[in-house]
Structure formats: C-alpha cells, structure tokens
Amino acid sequence: MSPMFRCCMVFTAAVLILSGCYSHPVRNLASDAALVKVGQSTRDDVLSFLGEPDDQQTVAKGVEKWLYREKTTTTLEKAPVVGKYFGTPGVGRVVVTLKDDRVTDCTYDAHDDDDTDWAKDFSWQEKEK
C-alpha cells in the first residue's frame, strides 16, 4: 500500500469514529434550572439558560408562568420491542414565574412517565347497580 492510500484510510477511519461522538445539543433541565436565581434573573437570562418555553401562561397583569418539559430515555429504553421492559422514560419539568420581567419563583420536579397510570384505573371505584 502506498503511504498516500494509508493516510487516506486513517483519515477516513478517524472521521467515521469521531462522527459517532457528535450529537445534537441536549437540554438538561435540572442543571439549566439551577442557573436561574430567584429575584436576580431576568426574562433574558431565562431565555438564554433554558431557551423558549414549551408553554406560557399569563396569570395576572405583569405575571407569567413559563413551563419547560423534558422527556428522558436511556439507550436500553429506546430499543425496539424489548425497550419497554427496561423501565419507563423520565419526565422533568421546570416552572418559572416571572413578574415584571424578573424571576419570582422557579421549581423543578421529575418523575417517571407512568407514575400517574394508576389514575386511569377506576374499576375499584365503580358502584354496583
């Protein structure tokens, strides 16, 4: 093999290996929400830390609530057919309350996606006729 061919092969292998390391940017709500300081952070700070909210609600004049959601799954949970046996996706949620463009409250909570499935089963509440 010529040295030029060998260099091309090494370069191609390096590009293929490194391209496997690339992924799109991921929003991590838990760490991003920790950057928001109640009483100090502004609307622009929240937008730079967390991005555009998934949902907005106007509560009163000058008061808004912004909701951020994140669904996380592990690699095993993404596997076709058998992924459902490796757990359930997690759901993270941040609620930021803004009053006059200043953060007055910021809460984060996380739970499994199926934590509220019990609410769909009301057979134990049915009354006999």
The structural domains of the chain, with segments of one domain joined by +, span 27-115
Provide the CATH number for the domain formed by 27-115 in this structure. 3.30.1450
Q: From CA 62, how far away is CA 101, in angstroms rounded?
A: 8
Instruction: Give the total residue count for the chain.
Output: 129
Whether pTM exceeds 0.85: no
Largest CA distance in the chain: 88
Question: Is the Cβ–Cβ distance between 62 and 97 less than 8 Å?
Answer: no
pLDDT at 27: 65
108 vs 96: CA distance, rounded Å: 9
Tens-binned pLDDT, residue by residue, of the chain (129 aa): 688 888 888 888 777 776 666 566 666 788 888 899 999 999 999 999 998 999 999 989 989 999 998 887 777 767 777 777 776 677 889 999 999 999 999 999 887 766 666 666 666 566 555
